[in-house]
Structure 1
Amino acid sequence: MEPPKGVLASLWNFICFLPYFIGLLLLGNFKGILFCPLICLIMTIGNSAIILGLWPVHFLWTYYCMFRAKRYGPALKIVVCIFVLPVQLILWPVVGIVGSIVGGAAYGFLSPVMETFQAVGEGKTNQLYHCFYDGIWSTVQGCFTVVRDFGDVCYHTYFSVMDDLREQGPPDAKYYEIRVLYLPGAVIISVLGFMVDMPVISFIALCKSPYMLFKGWHRLFHDLIGREGPFLETICVPFAGLAILLWPLAVVGAVLGSMVASIFLGAFAGVVVYQESSFWLGLCYIIASLSLYDEYSNDILDMPEGSCFPRPNYRKKAKLGRTNSRGPSFSRPGSFRSVPSRSVSFTNPITELKPLELMDSLFKECKHHGEIMVSEGIITLQDIEDAKSSKGSRVISIGLPAYCLLQALLRSAKANSVGILLSDNVTELTSSNRPKETFFDWFFNPLLIIKDQIKAENLSEAEEAYLCKLVLLNGDPLRSKNSNIGSAPESERKQAELDAFARRLQGITKSISRYPTFRRRFENLVNAISDDLAQNDGSSKPTDGPKTIPRSKSAFAQLFSQKSFSFTNKTSNHGYDPESQTVVNDVTITQ
């Protein structure tokens, strides 16, 4: 859809579009105002109960894990336990409850508005009905889902992180320690930086706020009349329309955000003093931080470059960058001074993948491979029972997702993919369409590095199979030891590299498992695998005597049976005959 050209066409398009937009906006606002108190109440009560109920446990367990941490030295532990942890633990209930109130109110109001506009999108049938219905029950369900995910983060994710802090040792057998002699100077300069930066930065933000207000309105009204930018697509209209109405609040929020940020920006002077072991460089940073903020705000508002504040060097080893504070801005080079076209991203869109979509894709793969492994007897009933209990099963919770990630990396390496090729062999996750959230880089970039390393290793089929089994079962040392994981590479160097790949993939998977929605999806996965195992047991259970389970010749079985893999446990004897080097299609299990 191209924006109209010409003054008359733009004016007519604006006249036709404005009543349509106002009607949807009023309807969405009515639903938002109606359900906002209910959603806010549910989310506030639910999250507050979780925070206050777990706060005593969090308090005691945090101190216990800090005292038992192997990577921190005695002096650092004392400083953290006396000055840092009390502030964080006291502020956590306040910040959590206030954030739940604000987040619940925002979600309860904005979710119905967004879904009201999405109800009239392309391809939707019975749009009038969906305009009134969409955003009502789905918002209530989403509110309970948010509370559920928040509880998983406060319970499972918290204890997982603290267990790592308590159990993992420092690298190179050297724990982290703090230089106590530099702490008084760092504290003094932090307070001084806060006292200087907060009033000055607040004054700068207030002076630039009128320019931000009128510049934003000018851009938004221009897009509204010409149906350009965010007004070009229906799904984006709510954001743009609300931006026009609430733009003054956005400006106030930007000013308040600058005031809050100035606290941390000024207090960072203490970090500079500690890192550089120089009180003078801390003073230089206080002055330079004013220049940094001034130039950054000029770049954001497209104002003239440079700053009226000096920018002294506050590092002993100067980093590569701009040497003249009045020269071209490093954050806005000359090639980007002209404003780009506002409709390019819509006429030539790049489909940006969302983190939740990638998470859903990962669990679909886990379900697919999990069902195959259940039919092959690789995932046992004990694994599922452990996964459902508090004990947990690393084979399912860590090994299975890590195995699916490894399959994606192997598939991408063989296809010479620039990014990561997903299971449909069509969609490719690259740096251009990846989710733009910063935390996603914590997983995406290491996976790209591992993919390139696997591609450079040029693994054989036997080495790939060995790596797959190692990734799947490395979380269960006893089973890995008792199971025939196949012939390891003859080279000790190659074997060590494969072991390192397995450990890194499982480490990345463990970090992904702390994602807020992971636990809920994982429980659904375990239930699906459990149902599949129950169906297999029910369909193959005779009245008495031995039980015969039909074995499918899946790709998984063919891949690993060719590599002489067999798994032994108390209840099953898997279909592989090491003497004849053949796969047995039916396995007899004696109860």
Structure 2
Amino acid sequence: MEVPVHFVGKLWSFISFLPFFFLLFILGLVKAAIIGPVAAGIIVIGNLSVIAGLWIAHFIWTYYCVAKSKRLGLVLKILVLLLLPLPLVLWPVLGVVGSVLGGIGYGFFAPLLATFEAVGENITDKFYHCFVDGSWSTIKGSFVVVQDLTDFCFHSYFSFMDELIEQIPADEKPLDIELLKLPASLLVSLIGVPVDVPLITMVAIWKSPYMLFRGWKRLFEDLIGREGPFLETVCVPFAGLAIILWPLAVVGAVVASFISSFFLGLYSGAIAYQEDSIHLGLAFIISVVSLFDEYVNELLYLRVGSCFPRPIYRRNMSPRPEGKKYGNNEKNDLENGGEGSYKSKLVSQRSRTWKQAIQRYKPIQVWGWLFKSCEINGRIFLRDGLIDVKDIEECLIKGNCKKLGIKLPAWSVMECLLASAKSNSSGLVISDDVELTKANGPRDKVFEWFIGPLLVMKEQLKNLQLEANEEMSLRYVFMKSRNDTPWEWDDTEFPSGDHVRRAQLQAIFRRLQGLVASMSRIPTFRRRFKNLVKVLYIEAVQAAASDSHIGGILNPGKGASSVIGSKDRRDGETMDRGRNYTCDNGSYGIMGV
């Protein structure tokens, strides 16, 4: 590690900053002592009120939906009904523990961290912000936490239950358990736990000294080079504390390995059940130790592979090439067709150094772009009469946001897919200077779950090679049709009469709406979308009042073209599809997250 040229100056800057750090730390502790109990009290009381108030309704409705569901077979349904009391009784207990711990943690650390953030480089009037930041914002954040839990309990839960009792297609079989396979599965699980738990724990303990010294080595290199957590002067003391507490992180990793070994051992029973083979279940018991060892080696930058044997535990796994020893063949584990999702959790596909060199976008940036695009498209839909004030009022007052809350975000994403398909992008083109891919996207499992299907739909749109007139009419048929059958578009202006082509587009529409429906169950999405709808409603009403004042006629039932004033008309004229829109916080493209 090369010492920077100005290392002495930076060292002196750090030493001279220490008195200010301790003063800020004391100030942050004082703010945390005052604000923390208030914020924690709001979170604990609010969450417990929501959980306790809805617990009986959740209990009864869960049993009703499971008993009525056609998606579950008879055996699985009986098993679920017998086991349901356990999670339903534990839910209030876990809610109490999580609210108390989360409230204390948020109430303490939010004011403390906000105090240090107030002395950042781009902050003006630092003295004022040191005292103010993290006070009222922490209290408001506490109410947001309660609101998100309320949205989950009121909206997301009942949305999941409604999906559970929906009718299934005639060609879809209910999910059930085959009783004849259960004895073999239970036998393998009983063998897997006592074998995998000690072996995986021994591997974790054996590799813990490597993790300790390699972690210290990396932290000291960052300290000398002023990189990573030591890049900002404000963060240096906390990063130094990380060096001191790094052994605790190593102990935590060993404990986490011990706990996860139970689940890995139990999963061997699932392998035996899925493959209907005791032999393959026993093979997984041995293979999972090798998988874990290889994952740890990759994490600690040790040699590739594992010295433990790895027998084939799936019928569709490619056989190991001859002449290759266990653990020395890097591609051996990647040839597992049936364990792709499981493998991705254990094997890193790219160099971590290469990942760190790429600037990754944060989930909050992705949400911001998406809702900005929804706001822009909402104005356009109001102008063109695709939605009206009645739709907005129905969403705000009655809570029925099925049309507005699904189709508006879905079309915003659809525009992004169309632009990405035309540009031959490997990811999603959000604007001229932003391209979202798996490499620079947020390291978030929820994000990965969403972007995968979107990339598939983008390739499908690219293969369709839509003409300009087809693309221009998609917005109308998307918003005005249910898109269930190709014949729905016969009375529309869609230029192509090819029913196969129509069915392919409608399949993309339905899948996209299903994806957005799942996304809408996230409490953060619901809260931000309601704020967006309020903005659209206020602008529409103000514009209508302005038009009425100068002689215009307010007629909400006729659509947005009679409601949106001249300002929104000018906005709409400049917001043609495919352009980038410059807003207060940057340039937003078609998707807008």
Partner residue, 2:57: 57
Secondary structure at the aligned position of 2:165 is classed as: helix
Partner of 1:367: 375
| Correspondent of 1:464 among 460, 463, 471 | 471
Distance 1:206 1:36 in 2: 38
Partner of 1:324: 325
CA shift, 1:167, in A, is 0.9
Task: Give me the whole-angstrom Cα distance separating, in 1, the residues matched to 2:539 and 2:9.
Answer: 60
Distance 1:280 1:42, change over 3 A: same
Matched, 1:384 2:385: no
Instruction: Map residues 426-575 of structure 1 onto 2, 5 A cutoff.
Output: 426-474=433-481, 485-487=492-494, 489-541=496-548, 549=562
Q: 1:329 to 1:14 in 2, by over 3 A?
A: farther
> In 2 relative to 1, CA 428–292 (structure 1 residues): closer, same or farther, beyond 3 Å?
closer
- Residues 334 and 174 (structure 1), Cα distance of their counterparts in 2 relative to 1, 3 Å cut: closer
CA contact (8 A) 2:541 2:563 kept: no
- The residue aligned with 1:109 is 108
Contact 1:4-1:10 within 8 A present in 2 as well: no
| AA in 2 matched with 1:190 | S
Report deviation, 1:308: 6.2
Aligned-residue offset at 1:180:
0.9
Shift of 1:302: 4.1
- What residue in structure 1 maps to residue 426 of structure 2? 418
Whole-angstrom CA distance in 2 between matches of 1:491 and 1:471: 17
State the shift of 1:333 in Å: 9.5
How many angstroms apart in 2 are the aligned matches of 1:99 and 1:256?
21
Q: Rate the CA distance shift 1:282–1:507 in 2: closer, same or farther, 3 A.
A: same
Q: What stretches of structure 1 of length at least 5 have no aligned partner?
A: 561-591
Query: Against the structure 1 CA distance between its residues 296 and 495, is the aligned structure 2 distance closer, same or farther, given a 3 Å change threshold?
Result: closer
CA distance in 2, matches of 1:316, 1:267: 20
User: Do the aligned partners of 1:374 and 1:532 also contact (CA within 8 Å) in 2?
Assistant: no
Distance 1:96 1:3, change over 3 A: farther
CA shift, 1:156, in A, is 0.9
User: TM-score, structure 2 length as denominator?
Assistant: 0.81
Does the CA-based 8 Å contact 1:10-1:226 persist in structure 2? no
Residue in structure 1 matched with residue 343 of structure 2 by the alignment: none
Matched pairs, number = 548
Work out whether 1:231 is the aligned partner of 2:239.
Answer: no
Measured at CA, do residues 246 and 391 of structure 1 come closer, stay the same or move farther in structure 2, by a change above 3 Å? same
Q: In structure 1, what is the Cα distance between the partners aligned to 2:318 and 2:226?
A: 44
Query: Does 2:92 match 1:93?
Result: yes
Residue 564 of structure 1 aligns with which residue?
none
| Partner residue in 1 for 2:584 | none
Structure 1 residues 396-447: Cα deviation after superposition (integer angstroms, max 9, x where no partner): 111111121122222333344333222x543222233211212112221222
Cα pair distance change 1:73/1:326, threshold 3 Å: closer
Alpha-carbon shift at residue 261 of structure 1 (Å): 1.0
The CA distance in 1 between the partners of 2:410 and 2:237, in whole Å, is 39
Percent identity over paired residues: 44
TM-score by length of 1: 0.81
2:412 counterpart residue number? 404
Q: C-alpha separation between the residues in 2 aligned to 1:362 and 1:524?
A: 14
> C-alpha root-mean-square deviation of aligned residues, in Å?
3.7
Native 8 Å contact 1:11 1:225 kept in 2: no
For 1:36-86, what per-residue CA distance to the aligned partner results, in whole angstroms no more than 9, with x for missing partners?
A: 444333323322322232222222222222223233322222223224x33
> Match of 2:182, SS?
helix
Q: 1:371 to 1:36 in 2, by over 3 A?
A: same
Residue identity opposite 1:72 in structure 2? L
User: Counterpart of 1:352?
Assistant: 360
Task: Write the distance in 2 (CA, Å) between the matches of 1:188 and 1:120.
Answer: 60
- Deviation, 1:264, is 0.9
- Per the TM alignment, residue 377 of structure 1 is displaced from its structure 2 partner at its CA by 3.4
Cα gap change, 1:447/1:311 in structure 2, threshold over 3 Å: closer, same or farther?
closer
* Cα 1:475/1:381, change in 2 over 3 Å: farther
Q: Which amino acid aligns with 1:181?
A: L
> Quick check: 1:413–1:452 contact (8 Å CA) kept in 2?
yes
Give the Cα separation in 1 of the matches to 2:449 and 2:376: 26
Secondary structure, aligned partner of 2:85: helix
Partners of 1:391 and 1:141 lie apart in 2 by 23
How much does 1:268 deviate? 0.5
Q: Which whole-Å CA distance do the structure 2 matches of 1:395 and 1:244 have between them?
A: 52
**1:68 matches 2:76:** no
Residues 465 and 559, structure 1, Cα contact 8 Å, conserved in 2: no
Matched with 1:262 is 261
Aligned AA (1:159) = F
The change in CA–CA distance for 1:295 and 1:352 in structure 2 (over 3 A counts) is closer
1:71-112 deviations in Å (ceiling 9; x for gaps)? 3322222223224x3333333333333223333333233323
Amino acid at match of 1:365: S
Question: Residues 306 and 143 (structure 1 numbering): CA distance in 2 closer, same or farther, change over 3 Å?
Answer: same
What is the CA distance between 1:33 and its match in structure 2?
A: 5.2
User: For 1:126-145, what aligned pairs fall within 5 Å after superposition?
Assistant: 126-145=125-144
Whole-angstrom distance in 2 between the partners of 1:299 and 1:482 = 53
